Structure 1
């Protein structure tokens, strides 16, 4: 606008009638002669036209750029996802991840393929339910199924691999995905069976020419009830949190539970709470002052040769004086919660409790369970957490960020697994 007005003014001056110019010249108070310019010399007429044209082009270009960058929404970079370890529909965590990923298409997410080593590989009698599901995915969503990560094509830099197979298989799948060019990997917790395995996986990811970012799906790190409890405790002097994690097994089902989760309760069920201690209390094996078991709330059993905890409660205190309590009960029901107490055990009194699911949420979940009895109940209970984990990781990957909010990195997972092994040894001695 300013350039246009200036140009108009200059042109007006150069085209004033000669009588006006003469009047200026005869006046005793005539202004000093203007400095030489393109407009004062007729020989520069075409230079003047060229100059004004250049100015006009620049103004038009800047105007177009302004309109393009402010009035139009920037298109999201699309992220491709490969799922490794799908399992059976309505039973496996991998399958549930896939269902949520398909719902994220409008968020710029495309499922490129599914690797299912058992049902698409070594299984000789594939259940009809899985075959039907596979045909549906291939037909309706264009998803390709593979029997091994080695069958995958080379992955583009915008491909994320989500590993949801058995914990014991994760290290092998992890390395295969790296070899295919994965730049971001989401691991189901705890990531691997042992600390050395996780450390090797971390080193492999960092050794690539373009390091691969690795996140681990500890859903308690992002769940609202924990976030609210931590915020409330931060505003309450001398408070102490007891993180309570319940499952709904019956006593008769514990044998199968112990066998299937042979890594032990602290590496499996309670690993989420230990990850909270690492993430928000800076607990490390090297910083632990003591671990004290609450024998009244703990039960150690041996079933079919496997020794584990049916329930356990213990308080961790660090050298810096920070402390928190973890309580886990295989037969405690579907409701988990965080209790903010007035002080550490044994004298602390409950101030406030944050539950998941809430009574209102439980009504909705019960209705869904009744409507679909084949679905694993915990899918309904933790659905929002799983979705947030994936959304945070995908958004961080899309934007090139090293952190994804409070989602655990593989470094945090290593410390949580170290703490699980350390605490298991301590509690086995005490109980």
Structure 2
């Protein structure tokens, strides 16, 4: 099947893209016959399908919050064609049979590409290690106990040694439980005014500092999830300068919001790591811009409305992000002139793909036709009632944004479109 996407902006030039058998066949002046399927991009921006290294699809076990079907539909609407699914499900993919079960669900229900993580430890308990060789052979993209920091340095070191042997990354939610003190938001000015228990920045940065030295000794690729503090950025920067194989991601919400944006005891602003200080937010932006932080990931974490109705003390951590990430970042950083659109696209495509050596996130001849069309002119209002995700837990409801995806394609197949764009 031959398809033509015409009249699209790519690298600031109006061009056309020919697709054959699910791959990009040519970019530029294209001569196609009348039988080709034509999509008129009408001057919209064309980008590779976005790659998200950090999503929670909740299934199996958490279907009231999200399913693989609804989560991947949300991903497609947001322009994401490849997502890496965290293992905090029930059952946990900590052995081959459980990972195979997750893969079967993905094959049955996913509308975009889902690469499943496996756990580092059995039951994400932080104790007995999983068999990484078998789980890698079964299809695990990497290993993480996401949501739970591995508390034992010895366990983490052994995990890194095993991961290095099979050429896989260790991906870490960094949190020293002995420094959390039952906190529910950042230990700072807003926490004091709301009289809620705080989570010190040290709980994150201390564990990163420990782990980068372990990774150096184990010769392991170590990836830090959702960096949130200026101290963490400093540690990662110094580790990279020392030649340690460490990579890192940052979320849209940590780039956009600080503790001072929390209006009240509203759990739609409760996430882990929490919204930090303005100084932390600025350090994250600087770290992304100078390459200390490699890419942007959403940490899409859906919950039911009932889950989030009980304030900071009684509600779970987490917000959704797949359907809002690009428009929010485009509006705040690109429209303001702070970043170029190509910088933003790279942080959501080629850079996360490169982080995990994935063959996606590129718009070039021979690559999979994973593409997203983006309307950068019309302004819309974020309405959580219209989300395709089951989760409506966002602090960005009502925000006015530009840069909204209108069509998403994976392997040449349209997996989501806002409206008819066929010529």
TM-score of the pair, normalised by structure 2 = 0.31
More contact order relative to length (CA 8 Å, sep ≥ 6)? 2
Larger radius of gyration: 1
